[in-house]
Amino acid sequence: MSSFLRASYTIAAKDLRSEMRTKEAFNASFSFSLVILVLFSFAFDPSSEELRTISGGLLWLVFSFAGALVLNRSFARELQNDCLDALVSSPAPTSAIFFGKTLANFLLLMIVEIAALAVFAVLYDTHFSKQFWPVVLVMLLGTWGMTVIGTMFSALTVNLRMREMMLPTLVYPLLIPALMAAMTLTSDLMSGTPLGKDNLIWLRVLAGFDFIYTVLAVVFIDIVLVG
């Protein structure tokens, strides 16, 4: 177990270090989310009350678009110089490679999301300070679901022609339960409804989704990467 975790940590640290040095994925996905956030202001009246009720949906759309940019690169960046083959033939188990990459993507995506959330709060005058920790919890769970599925499919589509197109077409429909739950919860929290009887079920959906797909991905990653 400890060797699994050590291998995962090494992979995650490697990915994060190379991201720290180039800041490629962060720059791309953060500036992309900025553009979408600005575009939203033309789609509806940004000062209206109704914004509160749809804010969760908007935020998660931004997050999932930004996520696709980060996740697309996750395995594709290993293609140069056959790094992927080297990784797969290294003594680290494929599930550890997957887990490490998921961890790195998760952290990176969380940073992008927090930055985007701050910009969203400033531009659209939303107040969620009372519900801050529940919002963070929903973000953690939703982002984990997104990264697990995204990293898995990033590995799955890495050798495909039309990789950039296949990843979103496969990932978004699968993410629907998680996104639906996260959107509902975030909208509730943003409009002042605390976590409680009515929306606790969504938290369970989100946690269940995360658990099921984490297990499935760890089980199947070997088939995807090695065969």
Partner 1 sequence: MTQTRDRILFVLAAVCAVLLCVDFYKIFLILPDEANQGAIYRIVYVHVPSIFTGFTGFFVALAASGAYLVTGKLKYDAFAAAVTEVSLAFATIVLATGMIWGRIIWGIWWAWDARLTTMLVCWLIYAGYLMLRRAIDEPTQRARLSAVVSIFGCVDILIVWKSIEWWRTQHPAPVLSVRDGGGMGPGMEAPIYWNWLAFMCLAAILVMVRTRQEQRSREIDSLRRMAHSY
Return residues touching partner 1 (CB under 8 A): 149, 152, 156-157, 159-162, 166, 169-170, 173-174, 176-177, 180-181, 201, 205, 208-209, 212-213, 216, 220, 223-224, 227
* Residue among 5 and 201 whose Cβ is closer to partner 1: 201
**Choice between 34 and 174, CB closer to partner 1:** 174
Report whether 116 contacts 66 (CB < 8 A): yes
Which ranges in 90-196 belong to alpha helices (H)? Answer: 94-124, 132-156, 163-190
27/159 with CB nearer partner 1: 159
Tell me the closest approach of the beta carbon of residue 59 to partner 1, in angstroms: 19
Measured distance CA(40)–CA(36) in Å, rounded: 6
Nearer to partner 1, 33 or 184 (CB): 184
| 179 touches 60 (CB < 8 A) | yes
Residue with Cβ nearer partner 1 (19 or 78)? 78
CA distances for 3 relative to 6, 17, 54, 97, 151, angstroms: 5, 21, 45, 12, 21
Write the CA distances from 29 to 13, 63, 116, 121, 134, integer angstroms.
Answer: 20, 9, 10, 18, 25
Rounded to a whole number of angstroms, the minimum distance from the CB of residue 151 to partner 1 is 13
Least distance between partner 1 and beta carbon 184 (Å): 8
Q: How far is the CB of 200 from partner 1 (least distance, A)?
A: 11
CB of 175 to partner 1, least distance (A): 9
For residue 71, give the nearest of 151, 136, 140, 144 by alpha carbon: 151
Q: Which of 187, 220, 226, 183 is nearest to 205 (CA)?
A: 183
